């Protein structure tokens, strides 16, 4: 009787905690995949590069906003001017709302870098990295504790052959052994 | 259950409003009553102001694409730049800041790169721990180290290069200076 009551409570708490932290699991799951592959892509932004040549570039001292806007238009670029400056004697950098153009004023070679915020991943990574700090630290700590609670209570949800005394024990063991193998190979 | 949802919603709305009020306050009326410096007149004095609070303005030439944890500002002399990092109240810098003039209030920081520091870094690399994104209280954090390593292609070569730079400087260390942001606002 007492066992049944404890199991019932475990099921109730496991269920409700699972509901509350469903969103957090998705956030950390998605950003976990993104951050696992951080060397292969930028999870915050999509960045595209395009090269083109400018045939006529006026002298540095006459380059103004108007010329840059018409150059953008004549080059067929779908971008919007923000500001510009000269990082070097013969280099013009144009800042755009969508990125930047770097122009070698001697050769006329231009490099367009178009940047677009990657939806969803930008947001989930922001949270995963704990950039809000403050209250988010507490909530994400609570989530971490809840993961331990969910996994522990999950072991005792089902009785019998498929429970922790049967099939469940083997599967749990596999889940513990796999990370141990990686630790043995790569760390210990 | 409806009551719980209502209570949570009210708490969220109140905290959001409070955070907006403080953010608004810091954006619209930040304490910028200190004499405002520029990159041109400050870059030579930065070493004399370590640990001090300064207010500096400049044009944002680059925002870090990986997490927005730092940006660079320049002045009239575009060969001079100062690195600005995020701080306690600034989770990250948005990439759209590029090209804007900003005014930053922050604390001048210094990293002393000496043989002890390089030896520790070397040990991290040799032990295969350089990929850990762990922070260093007063040093290059994991992210910065990865950038240095990525630039050189070989972390040990980068460390060796720093050793040569130290030897060439005639000092027993190199200093890396930056400003950690307290708050900032865009000028245009």
pLDDT at A127 over 50: yes
Shared-domain flag, residues B36 and B26: no
User: Do B85 and B15 sit in the same domain of this protein?
Assistant: no
Name residue, tokens 């951080």: A38
* For B101, nearest residue in chain A (alpha carbons): A83
Residue appearing with tokens 């050189």: B152
**Are residues B131 and B77 located together in one domain of the fold?**
yes
**Is residue B102 within 8 Å of residue B185, measured between CB atoms?**
yes
d(CA B39, CA B169): 23
Q: Which of B89 and A26 is assigned the larger pLDDT?
A: A26
Higher pLDDT among residues B14 and A171, named by residue: A171
Which chain B residue lies closest to A82 (C-alpha atoms)? B99
Crossing angle of the two packed helices B115-126 and B155-169, in degrees rounded to 10: 170
pLDDT grade, residue A7 (50/70/90)?
Answer: confident
- What number is the average pLDDT over the span A145-154? 96
- Same domain membership, residue B160 and residue B119: yes
CB B182 within 8 A of CB B53: yes
**CB B59 to CB A132 under 8 A?**
no
Helix axes A2-20, A22-36, angle to 10 degrees: 60
3-class DSSP state of A115: strand
Residue of A73, A74, A78, A42 lying closest to A55 (CA atoms) = A74
Question: Is there a single domain that holds both residue B146 and residue B69?
Answer: yes
A123 → chain B, closest CA residue: B67
State the Cα torsion A130-B136-B80-B47 to the nearest 10°: 130
Answer yes or no: do B74 and A87 touch at CB < 8 A.
yes
Q: Of how many residues is chain B composed? A: 188
| DSSP of B55-119 | EEEEEEEEE-TTT--EEEEE-SSTT-EEEEE--TT-----GGGTT-EEEEEEEEEEEEEEHHHHH
| pLDDT at residue B153, as a whole number | 66
pLDDT in tens, A48-69: 999 999 988 888 888 999 999 9
**Strand-pair category, B36-38 with B53-63:** parallel
| Residue B16 scores a pLDDT above 90 | no
Residues of chain B above pLDDT 70, percent: 67
Edge-to-edge strand ranges of the sheet holding A45-53: A45-53, A109-117, A99-104, A91-96, A81-88
Confidence (pLDDT) at B149: 58
Q: Does residue B72 have a pLDDT over 80?
A: yes
Residues B119 and B92 in one domain: yes
B127 interface with A at CB cutoff 8 Å: no
Task: With beta carbons less than 8 A apart as the criterion, state whether A11 and A157 touch.
Answer: yes
pLDDT value of position B26: 42
What is the rounded average pLDDT of the residues A156-174? 93
Structure tokens at A21: 């932290």
φ, ψ for residue A77, nearest 5 deg? -95, 135
| Inter-axis angle of helices A121-128 and A22-36, nearest 10 | 100
- Give the model's pLDDT for residue B22: 45
Return the sign of the alpha-carbon dihedral for residues A153, A157, A159, A163: negative
State residue B132's pLDDT score.
45
Flag whether pLDDT at A137 surpasses 50. Answer: yes
Number of H helices, E strands in chain B: 5, 6
CB pairs under 8 A between A and B: 49
Asked if the model's pLDDT at residue B30 lies above 60, the reply is no
A51-55, A162-166, B35-39: lowest mean pLDDT where?
B35-39
For chain A, percent of residues with pLDDT exceeding 70: 98
CATH of the domain at B161: 2.40.50.140
**Alpha carbon distance B174, B142 (integer Å):** 19
Q: Is the pLDDT of residue B32 over 70?
A: no
A46 beta partners: A116
Query: Choosing among B11, B96, B98, B149, which should be mutated to test the A contact, i.e. which has the most A CBs within 10 A?
Result: B98
Do B66 and B48 lie in one domain? The reply is: yes
Q: Total domain count for chain B?
A: 2
Structure tokens at B93: 């810098």
B19 with B41, same domain: the answer is no
Same structural domain, B35 and B90: yes
Question: Under an 8 A CB cutoff, do B96 and A97 touch?
Answer: yes
Kindly state the tokens that stand for A50.
Answer: 């395009």
| Residue A33 CA: distances (Å) to CA of A39, A123, A175, A187, B133 | 12, 14, 19, 22, 16
- This prediction has a pTM of 0.73
CB contacts of A100 in chain B (<8 Å) are 98-99
Beta-strand pair B36-38/A109-117: unpaired
Mean pLDDT over each residue of chain B, to the nearest integer = 79
Residue B70 and residue B109 in contact, taking contact as beta carbons nearer than 8 Å: no
Q: Which domain holds residue B2?
A: 1-30
pLDDT in tens, B114-158: 999 999 998 888 876 544 444 444 445 555 565 565 555 688 888
Q: Which residues of B touch A126 (CB under 8 A)?
A: 91-92
B63: left (phi over 0), alpha (psi -120 to 50) or beta: beta
CB pair distance less than 8 Å for A85 and B91: no
CB–CB of B89/B74 below 8 Å?
A: no
Which of these, B114, B37, B99, B106, lies nearest to B62 by C-alpha position? B99
User: Which DSSP symbol is given to B35?
Assistant: P
Name the residue with higher pLDDT: B130 or B93: B93
Percent of chain B with pLDDT over 90: 44
Residues in chain A: 188
Residue B24, pLDDT score: 44
**Domain spans in chain A, listed from the N-terminal domain onward:** 2-41+120-157, 45-117
Q: Specify the pLDDT at position B137.
A: 41
């Amino acid at each position: 009787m007492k066992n049944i009551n404890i199991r019932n409570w475990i099921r109730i708490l496991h269920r409700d905690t699972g509901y509350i932290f469903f969103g957090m699991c998705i956030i950390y799951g998605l950003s976990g995949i993104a951050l696992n592959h951080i060397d292969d892509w930028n999870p915050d932004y999509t960045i595209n590069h395009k090269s083109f040549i400018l045939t006529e570039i006026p002298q540095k001292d006459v380059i103004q906003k108007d010329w840059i806007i018409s150059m953008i238009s004549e080059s067929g670029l779908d971008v919007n001017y923000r500001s510009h400056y000269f990082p070097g004697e013969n280099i013009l950098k144009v800042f755009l709302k969508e990125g930047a153009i770097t122009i070698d004023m001697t050769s006329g070679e231009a490099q367009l870098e178009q940047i677009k915020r990657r939806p969803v991943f930008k947001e989930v990574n922001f949270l995963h990295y704990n950039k809000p700090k403050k209250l988010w630290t507490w909530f994400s700590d609570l989530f971490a504790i809840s993961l331990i609670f969910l996994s522990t209570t999950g072991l005792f949800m089902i009785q019998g052959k498929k429970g922790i005394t049967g099939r469940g024990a083997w599967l749990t063991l596999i889940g513990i052994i796999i990370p141990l193998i990686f630790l043995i190979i790569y760390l210990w | 259950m409806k009551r719980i949802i209502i209570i949570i919603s009210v708490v969220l709305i109140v905290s959001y409003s409070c955070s907006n009020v403080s953010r608004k306050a810091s954006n619209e009326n930040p304490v910028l009553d200190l004499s405002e410096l520029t990159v041109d007149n400050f870059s030579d004095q930065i070493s004399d102001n370590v640990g001090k609070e300064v207010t500096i303005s400049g044009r944002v030439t680059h925002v870090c694409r990986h997490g927005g944890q730092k940006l660079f500002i320049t002045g009239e002399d575009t060969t001079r730049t100062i690195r600005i990092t995020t701080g306690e109240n600034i989770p990250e810098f948005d990439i759209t800041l590029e090209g804007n003039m900003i005014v930053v209030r922050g604390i001048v920081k210094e990293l002393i790169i000496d043989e002890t520091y390089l030896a520790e870094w070397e040990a991290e690399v040799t032990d295969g721990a350089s990929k850990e994104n762990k922070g260093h209280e007063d040093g290059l954090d994991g992210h910065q180290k990865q950038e240095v390593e990525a630039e050189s292609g070989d972390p040990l070569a980068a460390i060796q290069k720093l050793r040569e730079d130290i030897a060439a400087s005639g000092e027993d260390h190199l200093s890396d200076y930056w400003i950690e942001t307290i708050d900032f606002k865009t000028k245009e």
